[in-house]
Amino acid sequence: MIRNWLFWAIPRQYIRRYLFTFWFVMFFLPGYILGLHFTKLGFIINWLWFDLVFYGWFRAKQMIGDDE
């Protein structure tokens, strides 16, 4: 799974969802709700984590045949 994740591209129909969720998870939730700020390394690690979780969500959706 990790090897496939390294080379995946966000499907065109999910770009808007990816960007909105990315903004929410990386800026709104920590900054406005929790009052936290990421360091540069923390931002990169959380971005990689977010991308891996989004990829896992997409693959699960694809496997159950609920892909739009």
The predicted model scores a pTM of 0.79
DSSP string, the chain: -HHHHHT----GGGHHHHHHHHHIIIIIIIIIIS-----HHHHHHHHHHHHHHHHHHHHHHHHTT---
pLDDT band at 68 (very low <50, low <70, confident <90, very high): low
- Is 31 part of any domain? yes
Task: Identify the pLDDT of residue 44.
Answer: 93
At 6-52, the pLDDT tens digits run 788 888 999 999 999 999 988 888 878 778 888 899 889 999 999 99
The DSSP code for 8 is -
Q: Is residue 3 part of a domain?
A: no
Residue 5 lies in a domain: no
Domain that holds residue 19: 14-63
